[in-house]
Amino acid sequence: MLAPGSGKTKTARLWAYVRDERPWDGDRQPASWYQFSPDRKAARPNKHLNQYEGFMHADGYAGFNDLYRTGKIIEVACMAHIRRKFVDVHKSQGSAIAEEAIKCIAKLYGIEKEARGRPPNERWKARQNQSKPVFDSLEVWL
């Protein structure tokens, strides 16, 4: 963002909120909504999403934690962020432990691939029957 009078720029944020349920057999139209802010304070998403109830798939930004604590928004964590750390360790150190974690996460990705496009109740069932045991063992292992 321009910082008038200083001859410089200043870092600002463009918040992007997106809904697209098509890959999951959802019936609502895709939508996107953008909000600008001069900073990345947690107050921004708290204000933007104060009326929202449902699931939210986001990165690990700690500014979302207050939203999750309300119970109105359920965090849908991203395994890609976890997986990336293991990939980095495996690449730099050749760690067998990191490789094992990557393989376990790949099982979860495979289950999700099979469930993609199926109705929500079938995806939930597949996750409970197939993903939950893998995830539970990964969590204990970690």
Distance CA 133, CA 107 (A): 11
Distance CA 138, CA 142 (A): 6
What pLDDT tens digit does each residue of the chain (142 aa) get? 998 899 999 999 999 999 998 877 778 899 999 999 999 999 999 999 999 999 898 888 899 999 999 999 999 877 888 899 999 999 999 999 999 999 999 999 999 899 888 887 888 899 899 998 998 888 888 7
